[in-house]
Structure 1
Amino acid sequence: MSLKLNTLDDFQLNNKTVLIRVDINSPVDPHSGIILDDTRMKLHAETIQELSNKGAKTVILAHQSRPGKKDFTTLEQHAHVMSKILNHSVIYVEDIFGCAARETIGHMKKGDILLLENVRFYSEEVLKREISPQSATHLVNKLAPVVDYFVNDAFAAAHRSQPSLIGFTFKLPSAAGRIMEKELKILTGAMDNVKKPCTYVLGGVKADDSIHVMQNVLENGSADYILTTGLVANIFLQASGIEIGTTNHNFIENKGYNEYVDVAGDLITKFKDKILIPVDVAICEDNKRIDISVEKIPDAPIYDIGIESIKLYAQIIRKSSTIFANGPAGVFENPEFSIGTADILNSIASSSGFSIIGGGHLAAAAIQMGFEEEINHISSGGGACINLLAGEKLPAVEALKNAYFKKLNDNL
């Protein structure tokens, strides 16, 4: 998979106005409104600091949550937090592309950093549309004339097709930021040069994502083992003819995943030797963990994979040369049912193989449990990472590639 993108090294940015799209979407306490985790802001600090150091006037475009959610709020607090992280004043303007935003941009000096308002406050950002019309939006038409370059550093949102992620690449010289560049180099590099044996550990509650990845890597032959955990495992248990109980069956149905039981059945038929399902599970009875064979699952919620399954999975992980993992093994937020997730992460961390963890809950668990330093790469983008592994093109990345080839052709 070729990676031909402009980066910050391709443009002279001194005294230029640079519009950068980042993903600083952060957990916010619904009661106090206080930001609970600044991890994503710290990640983007590298690119933003570099732009400022190079003398650019840096204009930041970002979102927080989406309409209808309790944490859908302004970016005023984000500006305060980012100022502390960067040790540099981050100006905040309560506007996206109106007169206030454009006038503030016009008065910026070298090294200044400006954060515009939550881009999802504007309806065009959340409407579904094809890629090319994104450049015809008011957001792009108003901001493009007052900036010189566009930088996309929002890998975590790269699977979205939205004006702030795609539209500017049609009208401005565009480049990938350092986070975008790093993620794509590591992920595409690992996918292009898979060392065998290669193991995928797929779990969590977003079973459709994991099963799409599974289909892709089994069909193209890159996966030697698929270890199923979480809701993914429950779907495969049911597809294998194992009775998982009405409670767990209803949970699959309520999530809208009934169709994936048939998909799982087909995958088991085709790739039986490569797909492993749990031999035991941990159920919740009276708020306590009980490990039980999959042949004897009562009508009780499955909250984790069982101890024997953990041992089996750990053996495979430790002998793997490449390990991709996405989604926790169970309800890891509850200490009683964090064993599966913790032991799998420990196996990945202690293996000699090259390891990548998708973003989202498993990444949070890895950091929370102290495995961050032992894992080769923890992706900043759950949805983007999993889509890339599933062989899907990321709209924002494709837009940057097109901008690269446009520049190349313009120079001929």
Structure 2
Amino acid sequence: MPTFDTIDDLPADKRVLVRLDLNSPIEDGTPQDNRRFERHAETVRELADAGHRVVLMAHQGRPGRDDFTSLAGHAEILADHVGRDVAFVADTYGDEALAAIDALGAGEVLLLENARMCEDELPEASPEEKAETAFVEALAPRFDAYVNDAYSAAHRKHASLVGFPLVLPAYAGRVMETEYEANTTIATRQFDGPVTMVVGGTKATDVIGVMDALDDRVDRFLLGGVAGELFLRAAGHPVGHDVGEMDLFDEQWERNRELIESVLDERGDAIRLASDLAYEGEDGERAEVAVDDIAEKETGYLDVGAATVDDYEPPIRESDAVFVKGALGVFEDERFADGTVGVLEAIAETDCFSVVGGGDTSRAIEMYGMDEGDFSHVSIAGGAYIRALTGEPLPAVEALEAAAERRAEN
């Protein structure tokens, strides 16, 4: 269980600074609604309904990237989910922002401009260094408390995440609380039956590290995506390398070859690889080929095949717990969603503890009409989920825990 304080511990009638993660896809300059707004709205609504003065911080993109933009549109989307006005100020800690904060009434909500537009925000540094930035020193005196709800950014040492908890009473919001509890379950809970992990996605380096770290806690791994192909390559099949203009496999193979081969050697009996793969046929339709029939990789494989889904369903259905990290195919294209959707549907129909992690994979649940309630937890975190699975520390969580210790001592 977490050792930080939550908003249940927050005294009444406070001016509260709240860190959210509203990072979203940007299309034609406009932020797109996603699960993050809905989840964070619960924390914002609860604080506003309790009569607190609620000021929100969040980020969008990074400097130099196409999705680095203002949060004005985010305020409108969030307001729809919260069910009350969310004011916006195009400033973060200057005079305009401070005036808007001071003018806030009980139950009112204000969103500040993109935190990453502050030069103090991004460089990774210790909480002590971040607490002494102009960003923190200007804003902190205006508040009675700080709430971190941005679990999906908790692996970062940014000012808005680790600086404020050092100088203000700090609490976890509902997203932080529920994500932390669900995502650390694999390391903290004992299950009576088999534990299965579905491993996919395009970032093989991340998931291979998870497989290595969890080898004593997971009974079997079901592989797909880029990691699945790389393991097939290690097993002697002519796949798992780039063809044409592809740039997904070769670099990750070179970086992880020794680890892949050692994991396969040591845990081969626990690792299930795809028996068939799907690709785009000459007619543009989905086509499948048995892995044993592939003499040479001539095209990109975009999903696991039907036989693989049939192979993966029984171990899922007999599991006591199933954790998912990464999609088994390019599910955004309906032709290549069968693997991801088939596995998720099998999990949904099984009475097991289940966590679906990573923002991309969790989108498949919504895209293909599945009920989020059929899973124990659907995570909106990516990097933080990986860190939690591998047992690596999350700086923003550590900052909340340290704040709770100081509060307990006083």
Scaled by the length of structure 2, the TM-score of the pair is 0.94
Report the secondary structure of 2:120's partner residue. Answer: helix
SS at match of 1:323: strand
Aligned-pair identity (%): 36
1:13 deviates by 2.9
Match of 1:402 in 2: 402
Residues 292-319 of structure 1 deviation map (CA, whole Å, 9 limit, x = unaligned): 1212323221111122111111111111
Task: Please provide the CA RMSD for this pair.
Answer: 1.7
Pair 1:245–1:49, CA change in 2 (3 A): closer
Superposition deviation, residue 9 in structure 1: 1.7
Deviations 1:140-189 (A, max 9, x none): 11101111100000111111110001100110000001111111122334
Secondary structure, counterpart of 1:24 in structure 2: coil
Cα offset for 1:28?
Answer: 2.0
Match in the other structure for 1:277: 273
Instruction: Assess if the C-alpha contact under 8 Å between 1:236 and 1:261 holds in 2.
Output: no
Partner Cα distance (1:267, 1:359) in 2: 23
Paired position in structure 1 for 2:239: 244
- 1:402 to 1:240, Cα distance in 2 relative to 1, 3 A: same
Tell me which residue corresponds to 1:309: 308
* Cα distance in 2, alignment partners of residues 94 and 363 from structure 1: 31
TM-aligned CA distance change 1:22 to 1:245, over 3 Å: closer
8 Å CA contact 1:194, 1:222 repeated in 2: no
Hey, what's the Cα distance between the residues in 2 that align with 1:9 and 1:213?
33
Q: Are positions 1:293 and 2:294 aligned together? A: no
Q: Deviation digits for residues 115-144 of structure 1, max 9, x if unmatched?
A: 100001112222233443121211111101
- The amino acid that maps onto 1:345 is L
C-alpha distance 86-264 of structure 1, shift in aligned 2 (>3 A): same
Q: Is the 8 A contact 1:124 1:163 kept in 2?
A: yes
**Shift, 1:361, TM fit:** 1.3
Counterpart pick for 1:205 among 202, 205, 216: 202
Partner of 1:230: 225
Is the counterpart of residue 348 in structure 1 residue 360 in structure 2? no
Quote the offset at 1:262 in angstroms: 2.0
Whether contact under 8 Å (1:209, 1:387) holds in the other structure is: no
Residue number in structure 2 paired with 1:117 = 113
Q: SS in structure 2 opposite 1:302?
A: coil
Q: Tell me if the contact between 2:127 and 2:166 (Cα under 8 Å) persists in the aligned partners.
A: no
Deviates more, 1:93-102 or 1:37-46: 37-46
Deviations 1:373-412 (A, max 9, x none): 32121012122112101111111101101111111122xx
Label 1:79 to 1:245 Cα distance change in 2 as closer, same or farther (>3 A).
closer
In structure 1, C-alpha distance between the alignment counterparts of 2:361 and 2:3, rounded to whole Å: 30
Corresponding position of 2:44: 48
Contact 1:243 1:295 in 2 (8 A): no
Looking at structure 2, the residues matched to 127 and 139 of structure 1 have their Cα atoms a distance apart, in angstroms, of 13
User: Which residue in the other structure is 1:103 paired with?
Assistant: 99
The reply to whether residue 330 of structure 1 matches residue 319 of structure 2 is no
Identify the residue that residue 166 of structure 2 maps to in structure 1.
170
Residues 57-83 of structure 1: CA distance to partner in whole angstroms, max 9, x if unpaired? 111001112122222111111122222
Counterpart of 1:25 in structure 2: which amino acid?
A: N
**d(CA) in 2 for partners of 1:255 and 1:246?**
9
Please identify, of 237-246 and 2-11, the stretch whose mean Cα deviation from structure 2 is larger: 237-246
The SS at the match of 1:282 is: strand
1:150 to 108, 128, 146: 146
Partner letter of residue 46 of structure 1? E
Deviation at 1:38, TM superposition (A): 3.8
Match in the other structure for 1:367 = 366
The one-letter code of the counterpart of 1:341 is T
- By how many angstroms is 1:97 displaced? 0.4
Q: Is the 8 A contact 2:226 2:249 kept in 1?
A: no
Q: Aligned partners of 2:253, 2:107: CA distance in 1, in Å?
A: 50
CA distance in 2, matches of 1:387, 1:257: 22
Give the distance between the partners of 1:56 and 1:131, measured in 2 at CA. Answer: 26
SS at match of 1:265: helix
Matched, 1:319 2:318: yes
2:216 is the alignment partner of 1:215: no
Partner Cα separation in structure 2 for residue 284 and residue 265 of structure 1? 29
Distance 2:350 2:257 in 1: 32
> Which SS does the other structure have where 2:288 is aligned?
strand
Task: Give the Å deviation of 1:226.
Answer: 0.6
Q: Distance in 2 between matches of 1:125 and 1:366?
A: 33
Provide, for residues 320-378 of structure 1, a one-character-per-residue CA deviation record: whole Å limited to 9, x for no partner.
Answer: 11000011111112222111111111111111211110022110011211222321210
Which one-letter code corresponds to 2:214 in the other structure? V
Change (3 A) 1:72 1:254: farther
Q: Which amino acid aligns with 2:381?
A: G
Q: Which amino acid in structure 1 is aligned with residue 196 of structure 2?
A: T
Q: Structure 1 residue 257: deviation in Å?
A: 4.1
What code does the residue aligned with 2:204 have? Answer: A
CA separation in 1, counterparts of 2:43 and 2:306?
Answer: 43
Give, as a single letter, the amino acid of the residue that structure 2 aligns with 1:206.
K
* Mapped partners of 1:57, 1:97: distance in 2: 17
In the alignment, what sits opposite 1:18? 16
Q: Give the superposition deviation at 1:261.
A: 2.4
Partner of 2:390: 390
Amino acid at match of 1:118: N
Preserved CA contact (<8 Å) 1:38 1:81 = no
- When structure 1 is superposed on structure 2, of 33-42 and 85-94 the one drifting more is 33-42
CA pair 207-118 structure 1, distance change in 2 beyond 3 A: same
User: Which residue of structure 1 aligns with residue 32 of structure 2?
Assistant: 36
Which residue among 177, 183, 186 is the counterpart of 1:181?
Answer: 177
Residue by residue over 1:220-264, the C-alpha shift from the partner in whole angstroms, topping out at 9 and shown as x without a partner, is x11000111100101101111211175359644455442212211
Residues 264, 188 of structure 1: CA spacing in aligned structure 2 closer, same or farther, 3 A cutoff? same
Answer yes or no: is the 8 Å Cα contact 2:149–2:175 preserved in 1. Answer: yes
Q: Is contact 1:203-1:231 (8 Å) kept?
A: yes
Q: Which moved more, 1:371-380 or 1:81-90?
A: 81-90
